[in-house]
Amino acid sequence: MERDLTVLDPMGWEAVKKSLNQRVVIVREKLLRSKKNRVWAVETDVRPVIVKRSLSGKAGTEFEMLVRARSAGLDVPLPLMISNDYIVMEYLAGDSCELMINHMFSAETARNLGIWLARYHSVMGDADKKVAMNDAVLSNFIVADGRVYGFDLEDSSAGNPLDDLGQLTSSILGSEPYFTPIKFDLCYRLLESYEMRTGSNVRESVRPYAAKHLKQSAQNKPIFRRTYADVADSIIKGWPKLA
């Protein structure tokens, strides 16, 4: 019989109990959206937590990266426990950056995303080894207490920071409402804050990476595939000027 992966199993329950280091009562659980893994918000009589079951075999990598990031002062959820393929981390109450960018059009959130990514590249890598998140999309960030938190660090590895920037700008532009002037403006604010934090000039050099990720995303958007490709080609030539 196949296991029901939507339900937190006894191994997940045990990980929760170990992470809180005491007897706990699980009040309720809620399966959250995740493309690659199984993630639950679990309410207990002690505190709410997030439980992630890694289906990619990268639980160890993600836990290590969360510990490193947290120790370096980066805003990420506090990792509480790893047990086999399960990671337990603190629950953060906040708003998704998808909501803040795609519906609220928050310039502050865009700037703070740029700052977060700049800090990530700074503290997780060094002059000899650059580290990339490799999954820098809006759904992997939330705003809690006015600060941007990043998570889903399982794909972090040696890489090109410009690719992260290109992916994040592509995630902003390629989500509804698609390719509007205000979306480009939010991308510019993100890039400006990244530049201010790092002292680098990335606005022009990031264009090929943004175009690459738009073209990759187009494969999952058959109705808009031509539009994505046209915008990607346009960005390669230059960013549009806004009134």
End-to-end CA distance of the chain: 60
DSSP letters for 127-153 = SS--EE-S---GGGEEEETTEEEE---
Q: How far apart are CA 225 and CA 25, in angstroms?
A: 48
Number of structural domains (the chain) is 2
Q: How far apart are CA 70 and CA 173, in angstroms?
A: 29
Residue 4 counted as domain residue = no
- Are 50 and 89 in contact, with CB atoms under 8 Å apart? yes
Q: Which domain holds residue 115?
A: 95-237
Same domain (yes/no): 71, 35: yes
Prior bond to 177 cis, omega within 30? Answer: yes
- pLDDT tens for the 243 residues of the chain, in order: 455 667 888 899 899 988 987 778 888 999 998 888 999 999 999 999 999 999 989 999 999 999 999 999 999 999 999 999 999 999 999 999 999 999 999 999 999 999 999 999 999 988 788 999 999 999 999 999 999 999 999 999 999 999 999 999 999 999 999 999 999 999 999 999 999 999 999 999 999 999 999 999 999 888 999 999 999 999 999 999 997
Closest to 32 (Cα-Cα) out of 76, 107, 96, 84: 96
Same domain (yes/no): 132, 205: yes
Same domain (yes/no): 45, 142: no
